[in-house]
Amino acid sequence: MERLSYEEKGVFLQTLHTGVVLVYLGVLCVLALLFSHPLYLTGIFILGALAVIVSEAVEKWEMYLRMGIWMALLIMIINPLVFRTGKTVLWHGPTVPVLGKLDICLEAICYGAAMGIRLLAVLTVFCLYNAVVHPDKILSLFARYAYKSALVVSLATRMLPAVARDLANAREVQQLRGVDYGSGSLRERVRKHSWLLNIVLSSSLERALQVAEAMQARAFGTGPRSCYRRELRRPRDLLCFTAGILALLFSLLAKFKGYGDYTYYPQMGKLVESSSSVIWLGIILISLSLPVVLSWGWKHCPYLRSKI
């Protein structure tokens, strides 16, 4: 809890305008939910992974993946047990109460796998959000519209590590006064922990009062306030914003034309129905990959860096 997820690494996506990053990540997330075609989902997932790599957030991503892969596997296992409308039965199982006959179909496994990839893609987007979006910038973005709510979020975020530290310290001190938190009945343990809560609550209230005093000393609530906007707009913001919007438009168009969907039940359709499907996917991925390509170029090409 001491360390918030965001770390300033000076990578390309961290230098983008917060609004642009939100649009880009939003588009990635929407597309992962919009399409059901395994190729489209895999493409979006790979693109997200590339964005993670260029943002030097692989370590964080591994933590998300560790959790995500288990969930994806769970979907792959549960889905065939629940949906048995597929035609390609791989294994005829016994009849069990509630679920009925356990026939495992290829289609259900594949659908489960596709949903697993969708889940991983969405988790990747969340990981990217944590890695490249500074929470304060999000707050200042929304502060103009909901300033009090933004301030409450900020104060709470500041308070969390302090409360965690108070709790750890108080626990240690009480242990050395003979309190054994591991022994006793459930009721006794709850009682022992309630003492900790008492200490932390008292300290937090005192801290809240002092923070309020510091805020008053800095003219808080003395009248209309302005909003400190620190974000710059550069050509890279326009490029990435356009890329995100174009990707969304192309995707909607592709969806409207029937690409990006896939028939799993009762029998799986062809993976590549027509070349147009692949071309549309290519166009969408090219649009989406612009920030990744720019990120690579920004890091390795000083000329490009100076121009965007």
Q: Is residue 169 within the footprint of other proteins (CB under 8 A)?
A: yes
Q: Which is nearer to other proteins, 221 or 302 (CB)?
A: 221
Q: Is residue 154 within the footprint of other proteins (CB under 8 A)?
A: yes
**Structure tokens that stand for 287 in this block:** 């649009």
Site residues for other proteins, 197-216, by CB under 8 A, read 198-199, 202-203, 206-207, 210-216
Q: Tell me the C-alpha distance between 79 and 221, whole Å.
A: 55
Q: Is residue 232 within the footprint of other proteins (CB under 8 A)?
A: no
**Structure tokens that stand for 153 in this block:** 């979020």
Binders of other proteins: how many residues, by CB under 8 A?
Answer: 57
Any bridge partners for residue 103, and if so which? 92
Near other proteins by CB under 8 A: residue from 173, 238, 272, 279: 173
Tell me the helices (H) and strands (E) count for the chain, helix number first.
Answer: 11, 2
Q: Is residue 63 within the footprint of other proteins (CB under 8 A)?
A: no
Q: Tell me the C-alpha distance between 41 and 285, whole Å.
A: 11
In the complex, least distance from residue 171 CB atom to other proteins, rounded to whole angstroms: 9
DSSP SS3 for 92: strand
Q: Which is nearer to other proteins, 193 or 255 (CB)?
A: 193
Q: What are phi and psi of 90, to 5 degrees?
A: -90, -30
Q: Is residue 19 within the footprint of other proteins (CB under 8 A)?
A: no
Residue type, 226: S
Q: Tell me the C-alpha distance between 210 and 158, whole Å.
A: 14
Q: Which is nearer to other proteins, 33 or 214 (CB)?
A: 214
Near other proteins by CB under 8 A: residue from 87, 101, 191, 229: 229
Cβ 250 vs Cβ 282: under 8 Å = no
How many other C-beta atoms lie within 10 A of the C-beta of residue 180?
Answer: 11
How many other C-beta atoms lie within 10 A of the C-beta of residue 162?
Answer: 15
Q: Is residue 195 within the footprint of other proteins (CB under 8 A)?
A: yes
Q: Is residue 149 within the footprint of other proteins (CB under 8 A)?
A: no
For residue 222, what is the DSSP state? S
Q: What is the dihedral of CA 124, 253, 255, 278, to 10 degrees?
A: -80
Q: Which is nearer to other proteins, 202 or 267 (CB)?
A: 202
Site residues for other proteins, 126-145, by CB under 8 A, read 134-136, 139-140
Near other proteins by CB under 8 A: residue from 92, 230, 270, 300: 230
Would you tell me which residues interact with other proteins (CB under 8 A)? 2-4, 6, 8, 134-136, 139-140, 151, 154-155, 157-158, 161-162, 166, 169-170, 172-180, 195, 198-199, 202-203, 206-207, 210-230
